[in-house]
Chains A and B, each alone.
Chain A
């Protein structure tokens, strides 16, 4: 069960970073002017912070405590 949870978590993070890449790529590649670059920077920083927080909570979460 723990392994299944880890797999689901890894898939979620993979989807998150995939979508982050697509948004970041579009903002930096096709954006004209300053605004898309600012959005891209804020988006990337926020994504890293959110991912970090999520990872901390995932690491602290004891999967076995659900069944005790």
Chain B
């Protein structure tokens, strides 16, 4: 029983809502972790503020009759920071691009009550462009992937995806396999 619970955090069937019969997940993509690191490190900086204030004004704080209140307010402050940190982490982890053997599904979560789901049938893909622009994307190996369908249709842009070259190759492989009627194997580029 305990092993089954722990297994949830180790392995996943990578199933998703609306998955069709015989539809297999080839790739599960998220933005580069660096994108989540920016707000989380800002919040971590704010977490240091009470510690610094405490260290600087140690004698005044400890001898104050407000000491108990200060400690309580500090915990409330940390509770708020905790919520903000996980709000950003949730937004990061819920923004996904799922490549299956039949389609590509992009889920964009802009807030708790603002979700957009776009999908594109894999046989409609005509060409894929990888865009790596800037010092950070080049150094950390992330970039945008532009998926072009028939000329008049919408262009899909998956932003800040890690290792975009590998992802592009995996999508192209899935496209050619789908066209040939072969099921592609699942690849673990990003969990």
Instruction: Kindly state the separation between the CA atoms of A31 and B95 in the bound complex, as whole angstroms.
Output: 9
Given the known inter-chain contacts A27-B90, A54-B75, please indicate yes or no for A41 contacting B69, CB distance below 8 A: no
Chain A interface, DSSP helix/strand/loop, else mixed: helix
**Are B14 and A54 in contact, CB atoms less than 8 angstroms apart?**
no
Size category, B interface: 35 or more
Using a CB-CB cutoff of 8 Å, which residues 85-130 of chain B contact chain A?
A: 86-87, 89-90, 93-94, 96, 98, 107, 109, 112, 115
Using a CB-CB cutoff of 8 Å, which residues 27-69 of chain B contact chain A?
A: 28, 30, 65-66, 68-69
**Are B90 and A33 in contact, CB atoms less than 8 angstroms apart?**
no
Instruction: Kindly state the separation between the CA atoms of A41 and B115 in the bound complex, as whole angstroms.
Output: 23
Q: Which residues of A contact B (CB under 8 A)?
A: 12, 16, 19-20, 22-23, 26-27, 30-39, 41, 43, 46-47, 50-51, 53-54, 57-58, 60-62, 65-66, 68
Q: Which residues of B contact A (CB under 8 A)?
A: 8-12, 14-17, 28, 30, 65-66, 68-69, 71-72, 75-76, 78-79, 82-83, 86-87, 89-90, 93-94, 96, 98, 107, 109, 112, 115, 191
